[in-house]
Structure 1
């Protein structure tokens, strides 16, 4: 496999973080006297950053959140999340063998996620994944996904100039960001998308990370 730049989404793509997101969110909801959310409900809410997550959680459990209150809610949620960043989070099968394999092939690797940047670094470190990536860019970036500039800036920070690039994600947001960045996109078929993976509009679907090197060769030939 020739060297390439591979940009990954995080939640729902590389890791199943929804259980820990749900636990932190439910602690916050309990403090506010609101009902707990199910895991399935939280999976449908993630993907566009912590602010939209708060808004969706509040809308699902009672009166909508006042927009002016959302930043403070985000900070309280993140405090709960930082205390338990990876108690129940699982790295998807194949990731731990794939990442060093790609690095050995000369690939540059990055994470482009709408998850808050500092929280992303905490989670990657807790899971022992941080060392594999040349750059990580979270959702604090002012032009976040689905804006392709989020992906392009990740590539710049990866030092990926001149390398063919591929995006790997799990949602329509990821597909739109990759298209806007002018690069092919692969979607996993196990993520948090709110529609069937086949309807996301990706160039290829991925059923296991063992198959990603072959797709890289095919799409970046």
Structure 2
């Protein structure tokens, strides 16, 4: 197998914040709970059940809330989500060099796949519902040598898998926080990734 590079999804490859806020607010209205969509969208990364607990949703209602959010998602979130600058180019840079690309995300897998399809991203596989160090499971299974993400949890996942941790400061974490967590390199956006990848892994992907 050639070089495999893993990518996080939310705030790494895509910006789903407007739709995420709208879906969470709609869920709150439907459920009669004080769910704050804007705060949720500003802190994407951790699993949905953790976010709901942060809004003090009753524990016994969380399974239903998760199912309902996932049901709302395709029509509310996917149509208004956009690719972040450099996302498509970063994926193409790996594939053009003969490498493989995977998406490893904490998001529900079928909804993650909808984003990939809607935006025309060329990836070899989408693996969902893995967060922080659990992302190492998929990275190790695919022998990924690099993992790219925007959150401290992504850095932890990369390091747990022994992969090069590439961070982009496009999410809720600052450059300083990402560096302190152990990122090997931090970019302002994925527009910087292709040049770095070409220099770092020249001749290794094929």
Secondary structure of the residue aligned to 1:10 is coil
Unmatched segments (≥5 aa) in structure 2? none
- Mapped contact 2:20–2:37 kept (Cα < 8 A): no
CA 1:120/1:23 → structure 2, altered by over 3 Å: closer, same or farther? Answer: same
**Cα-to-partner distance string for 1:104-134 (whole Å, 9 max, x where unaligned):** 21111000000011111122212222xx111
Residue 167 of structure 1: SS of its match in structure 2? strand
Query: Any conservation in 2 of the 1:8–1:14 contact (CA below 8 Å)?
Result: yes
- Spell out the pairing of 1:27-176 with structure 2 (5 A cutoff): 27-35=26-34, 37=36, 39=38, 41-56=39-54, 59=55, 64-129=56-121, 132-139=122-129, 144-147=131-134, 148-153=136-141, 155=142, 165-176=145-156
Instruction: Give 1:135 deviation, angstroms.
Output: 1.2
Maintained 8 Å contact 1:117/1:138: yes
Aligned to 2:189: 208
Distance 2:197 2:113 in 1: 26
- CA offsets 1:4-39 (integer angstroms, 9 cap, x no match): 311000001011111111111110101123446253
Aligned 8 A contact 1:166 1:216 in 2:
no
Shift of 1:44: 4.1
Are the counterparts in 2 of residues 86 and 127 from structure 1 also a CA contact under 8 Å? no
Provide the secondary structure at the position in 1 that maps to 2:103.
strand
In the other structure, the counterpart of 2:175 is 197
Matched, 1:180 2:178: no
| Pairwise CA RMSD | 2.1
TM-score, with length taken from structure 1: 0.80
Shift of 1:49: 2.0
- What is the aligned length? 197
Q: Following the alignment from structure 1 to structure 2, what is the Cα–Cα distance between the partners of residues 178 and 4?
A: 15
Q: Is the 8 A contact 1:7 1:168 kept in 2?
A: yes
**Preserved CA contact (<8 Å) 1:85 1:123:** no
Q: Which sections of structure 1, spanning at least 5 residues, go unmatched?
A: none
**Is residue 21 of structure 2 the alignment partner of residue 22 of structure 1?**
yes
**CA distance 1:192–1:71, change in 2 (3 Å):** same
Q: Judging changes above 3 Å, is the alpha-carbon distance between structure 1 residues 66 and 89 closer, same or farther for their aligned structure 2 residues?
A: same
Counterpart of 2:10? 11
